[in-house]
Copies of this chain bind each other. A is one copy, B any other.
Amino acid sequence: MKIIDIETIIFKYKSKIGIDIAGHTHPSEEHDAYQTLTRIVTDEGVDGFCFGGNKKINDRIIKPALIGKNPMDREKIWQYLYRDLQGSRGLISDGQLAVIDMALWDFAGRYLNMPVYKLLGGYREKVKAYASTMVGDEIEGGLNSPEAYADFAEKLVKQGYKAIKLHTWFPPIEWAPNPEMDIAACRAVREAVGEDIALMLDCYHSYNREEALYIGRELEKLGFYWFEEPMDEHNISAYVWLAENLEIPILG
């Protein structure tokens, strides 16, 4: 059993999602977009697939590194890519490494004819889903006001969602971040959907302690379910302080 090829399949498709300079997605005019699919080909007649993977990296590094290796040797392959090829660490990103690892898991599931979640040790057959909004914007028909969030949340509830997470306004919007606007959106959504829908807020990620505490206390009044990454994710002491001063669960 061995790997005989690595392919990177590139799809072109029509998208109405754009990305701003902060890396956040927004509605956009329809345009061409691209998605890759990494395929690990083996001599068993069974392949492993995972969305993602950079074609140049796959061709130049991953393919010569993996040809001839046993596709069930995930640990050996991971350690080889991560440690032995350390000089290429800048090219083999964590994301690229994860694509290869997941494609190998996908191979294992297909080869053994068993879902990967069962191979890993099953726990449940389904998981709860929540609707997650894009970040706020200034686009006509978009999430451009607290009322727009409320209208959108009502549509989500009609679609059957029992939980909704808001992403509010971020730079490069000139007046963002803005704690009061975050809370205005959260309040409008709570009033629109009532008390039986679980609500979460994932707002700007670099508020200071006072701003985060203000937002957290308002979310507690609005009965929110969690408060996600309001401060620098590396500042553990700030999160300890915030968690001690709030009752709402904090996600780092």
Contact = CB atoms under 8 A, between A and B. Distances in A.
Interface string A49-93: 000000000000000000000101111101100000000000000
Contact of A121 (B74, B114, B121, B124): B74
A73 B114 contact: no
A215 interface: no
Contacts of A114: 72, 112
A13 interface: no
A122 interface: yes
A123 B72 contact: no
B121 A73 contact: yes
Contact of A75 (B75, B76, B104, B123): B123
A28 to B, nearest CB: 40
B124 A72 contact: no
A119 interface: yes
Contacts of A74: 121-122
A75 B112 contact: no
Interface in A108-140: 108, 112, 114, 118-124
Nearest to A115: B72
A119 B105 CA distance: 9
Which among A74, A79, A118, A120 has the highest number of chain B CB atoms within 10 Å?
A: A118
Interface of A: 70, 72-76, 78-79, 104, 108, 112, 114, 118-124
17 contacts: A70-B118, A70-B122, A72-B114, A72-B121, A72-B122, A73-B118, A73-B121, A73-B122, A73-B123, A74-B121, A74-B122, A75-B123, A76-B123, A76-B124, A79-B123, A108-B119, A112-B114
